[in-house]
Amino acid sequence: MAEADIFSHIETAFPGTIQEQHSSHGNDTIVIDRGDLPTVLSQLKEHPDFAFNLLLDITGVDFFGKEPRFEVVYHLHSLTHNHRLRVKVRLTEESAELPSAASVWKSANWLEREVWDMFGITFTDHPDLRRILMYEEFRGHPLCKDYPVNKRQPLVEERDPITNPWHKG
């Protein structure tokens, strides 16, 4: 599917939902509103014209000092059409939450946990939103640009994951 084709297909499938669109070096990108995210993501996966059946990554971007402060970026790939698409959603600092995409792609479970852990962006209806990279007692979200680099974290006992697991159950 050519660049113009993907954008025209998306605009036809989701009239009025695309806030911005651009392509650079073969990377097609659309920007949508938070409220449109669940519908757009599920249709991009399920509709045969798109068939974005692989969620490659979800990441966050912090534009500290600007509003909206955060951007969450979904990197999608269609194995059927061999096409990539980035879907971006912009969030203010006061409302840094999105609906979870874990019901659309199972891999979103861990990717959303990483975005929450590093940036503090919450994913509503996530099945298990807890730290994945930092230890439980860690305070703050280290990839936020206002995170103090010289902050001291609480000391915690060394744990053997077999005899003293973090989560019992």
Q: What is the pLDDT of residues 30-80, one digit of tens each?
A: 999 999 999 999 999 999 999 999 999 999 999 999 999 999 999 999 999
Interval 18-30: pLDDT, tens: 999 999 888 899 9
Segment 131-154 shows an average pLDDT of 89
Quick one: which H or E segment has residue 55?
strand 54-62
Q: What mean pLDDT comes out for the span 110-123?
A: 98
Two structure tokens written together for 14: 């989701």
Which pLDDT belongs to residue 136? Answer: 84
Per-residue pLDDT, 135: 85
Within its chain, how far is the Cα of 41 from the centroid? 11
CATH class of 3-100: alpha beta
Q: Mind listing the pLDDT tens digit for each residue in 70-85?
A: 999 999 999 999 999 9
Neighbour tally for 110: CB within 10 Å: 12
Query: What span, in angstroms and rounded, lies between the C-alpha atoms of 92 and 56?
Result: 25
DSSP 98-137: EE--TTT-TTHHHHHHHHHHHH--EEET-S----SSS-TT
Run of H or E residues at 11: helix 3-13
Residues 65, 106 contacting (CB under 8 angstroms): no
